Amino acid sequence: MMDAMSTHARTSADPVTSLPVVDLSQWDPAVPDSERSVAFLDGLRDATHRIGFFYLVGHGIPDDRIAELMDVSRRFFALPEADKLAIENLRSPHFRGYTRVGGERTQGRTDWREQIDIGPERPAVPAGPGVPDFEVLEGPNQWPAALPELQQVMERWDATLADLGRTLLAAWAVSLGQPADVFDAAFADRPSTLIKIVRYPARPEPEAKQGVGAHKDGGVLTLLLVEPGKGGLQVEHDGGWIDAPPVPGAFVVNIGELLEVATGGYLKATVHRVESPPVGSDRISVPYFFNPALAARIPLLTLPPELAAEAAGVTADPDNPIFDTYGANALKSRLRAHPDVAAIHHADLVAAQAH
Mean pLDDT by 10 residues, the chain (355 residues): 41 70 96 95 97 97 95 98 98 97 90 96 94 96 98 96 96 97 90 96 79 92 92 93 93 95 94 92 96 93 97 83 84 93 94 73
pLDDT at 320: 75
Distance, CA of 342 to CA of 94 (rounded, Å) = 10
CB neighbours of residue 243 within 10 Å? 13
The kind and range of the H/E element at 335 are helix 326-337
Distance, CA of 85 to CA of 80 (rounded, Å) = 9
CB 54, CB 20: distance < 8 Å:
yes
pLDDT at 228: 87
pLDDT at 350: 87
pLDDT at 15: 64
Domain boundaries, the chain: 48-354
**Domain 48-354: CATH class, spelled out:** mainly beta
Count the helices and strands in the chain (H runs, E runs): 10, 14
pLDDT at 1: 34
pLDDT at 84: 98
pLDDT at 9: 42
Distance, CA of 73 to CA of 114 (rounded, Å) = 12
